Structure 1
Amino acid sequence: MATRKRRTKGAGSIIHGKDGTWRFRKDLGADPATGKRRYVEAKGRTKAEARERFDAKIAELERTGLMPGAKSPHLNDYVERWLEDYRTRVKPTTYRTRAGRLHACCQVIGHVRLADLTPEHVRRCMRVLGERLAPSTLKDHFVSLKMVLDDAELEELIPVDPCRKVRPPRVEPTPVRILAPDQPRRLIAAVTDMGEARRGPVDTGDCTEMWALLFELAFAAGMREGERYALMPYELELRDGVPGIFVQQQIQAYGRPGETVIPKWLDAEHLYGTLWLTTPKTRAATRFVPISQGLWDRLWARIRRLHIGPHDLVFTTQRGTPVRESVERHHWLKALEAAGLPQVRIHSARHWMASMTARAGMPEDARISIMGHVSLQMTMHYTHRDAASLGRLMAAAIPDLHDGTEIIDVQIGDGSAVAVR
Structure 2
Amino acid sequence: MATKRRTKGAGGVFRDKNGTWHFRKSMGVDPVTGKTRRIEARGKTKSEARERFEQKVADYERTGLIAGGTSPRLADYVERWLADYATRVKPTTYRTRAGRLKACNEHLGQVRLKDLTPEHIRTCMRALGERLAPTTLKDHYVSLKMVLDQAELDGLIPLDPCRKVKPPRVEQDPVRILDADQPKQLIETVPSMPRATHGPADSQDDLELWALLFELAFTTGLRPGERRGLTPDELESRDGTCGISVRHQLQDLGTPGRVEIPKWLDATHIWGTQWLTTPKTRAAHRFIPLPEGLWSRLWARIGRLHIDAHDLVFRTHLGRPVSGSNERRHFKKALAAAGLPDVKLYSARHWTATMTALADMPDDARIAIMGHTDPAVTLRYTHRGTASLARLMADAIPDLGGDTVEAEIIDD
TM category (shorter chain) comes to over 0.9
Deviations 1:153-206 (A, max 9, x none): 111111111111111111112211111111111111111222224753321111
What amino acid maps onto 2:153 in structure 1?
L
Contact 1:198 1:330 in 2 (8 A): no
Q: Once the 2 structures are TM-superposed, how far is the Cα of residue 332 of structure 1 from its aligned partner?
A: 0.4
5+ long unaligned stretches in structure 1:
409-421
Query: How far apart are the structure 2 equivalents of 1:273 and 1:105?
Result: 31
Query: How far apart are the structure 2 equivalents of 1:298 and 1:139?
Result: 43
Q: Which residue of 1 aligns with 2:143?
A: 144
Give the share of equivalent positions with the same residue, in percent: 65
Contact 1:194 1:334 in 2 (8 A): yes
Q: Once the 2 structures are TM-superposed, how far is the Cα of residue 90 of structure 1 from its aligned partner?
A: 0.5
1:276 aligns with 2:257: no
2:216 counterpart SS class: helix
| Aligned pairs for 1:5-404 within 5 A | 6-7=6-7, 9-15=8-14, 22-197=21-196, 199-404=198-403
2:217 counterpart SS class: helix
Q: Once the 2 structures are TM-superposed, how far is the Cα of residue 369 of structure 1 from its aligned partner?
A: 0.2
- Total equivalences in the alignment: 407
Deviations 1:233-277 (A, max 9, x none): 221122222221111110000001111111111110001000000
What amino acid maps onto 1:377 in structure 2?
A
Deviations 1:354-394 (A, max 9, x none): 00000010000000000001121010010001001111111
Distance of aligned partners of 1:175 and 1:5 in 2 relative to their CA distance in 1, 3 Å threshold: same
What amino acid maps onto 1:213 in structure 2?
L
Deviations 1:67-122 (A, max 9, x none): 11111111111101110110000011111111111111001100111111111111
Q: Once the 2 structures are TM-superposed, how far is the Cα of residue 5 of structure 1 from its aligned partner?
A: 5.9
What amino acid maps onto 1:402 in structure 2?
G
What amino acid maps onto 1:265 in structure 2?
W
Normalised by the length of structure 2, the TM-score is 0.94
Contact 2:194 2:337 in 1 (8 A): no
1:40 counterpart SS class: strand
Distance of aligned partners of 1:188 and 1:69 in 2 relative to their CA distance in 1, 3 Å threshold: same
Query: How far apart are the structure 1 equivalents of 2:123 and 2:261?
Result: 35
Distance of aligned partners of 1:52 and 1:216 in 2 relative to their CA distance in 1, 3 Å threshold: same
What amino acid maps onto 2:213 in structure 1?
L
Contact 2:23 2:49 in 1 (8 A): yes
2:348 counterpart SS class: helix
Range that drifts further, 87-96 or 295-304: 295-304
Distance of aligned partners of 1:407 and 1:338 in 2 relative to their CA distance in 1, 3 Å threshold: farther
Query: How far apart are the structure 1 equivalents of 2:102 and 2:405?
Result: 71
Range that drifts further, 27-36 or 222-231: 27-36
Distance of aligned partners of 1:19 and 1:393 in 2 relative to their CA distance in 1, 3 Å threshold: closer
Distance of aligned partners of 1:388 and 1:58 in 2 relative to their CA distance in 1, 3 Å threshold: same
1:63 counterpart SS class: helix
Query: How far apart are the structure 1 equivalents of 2:124 and 2:314?
Result: 45
Query: How far apart are the structure 2 equivalents of 1:62 and 1:85?
Result: 16
Contact 2:11 2:23 in 1 (8 A): yes
Contact 2:229 2:249 in 1 (8 A): yes
Distance of aligned partners of 1:244 and 1:135 in 2 relative to their CA distance in 1, 3 Å threshold: same
Distance of aligned partners of 1:236 and 1:407 in 2 relative to their CA distance in 1, 3 Å threshold: farther
Distance of aligned partners of 1:375 and 1:407 in 2 relative to their CA distance in 1, 3 Å threshold: farther
1:343 counterpart SS class: coil
2:295 counterpart SS class: helix
Q: Once the 2 structures are TM-superposed, how far is the Cα of residue 16 of structure 1 from its aligned partner?
A: 5.4
1:389 counterpart SS class: helix
Range that drifts further, 352-361 or 241-250: 241-250
Q: Once the 2 structures are TM-superposed, how far is the Cα of residue 405 of structure 1 from its aligned partner?
A: 5.1
Query: How far apart are the structure 2 equivalents of 1:319 and 1:266?
Result: 28
5+ long unaligned stretches in structure 2:
408-412
Normalised by the length of structure 1, the TM-score is 0.92
Q: Once the 2 structures are TM-superposed, how far is the Cα of residue 300 of structure 1 from its aligned partner?
A: 1.5
Contact 1:114 1:157 in 2 (8 A): yes
What amino acid maps onto 2:297 in structure 1?
R
CA RMSD of aligned residues (A): 1.8
Distance of aligned partners of 1:17 and 1:199 in 2 relative to their CA distance in 1, 3 Å threshold: same
Query: How far apart are the structure 1 equivalents of 2:236 and 2:350?
Result: 24
1:226 counterpart SS class: helix
Query: How far apart are the structure 2 equivalents of 1:336 and 1:22?
Result: 70
Q: Which residue of 1 aligns with 2:410?
A: none
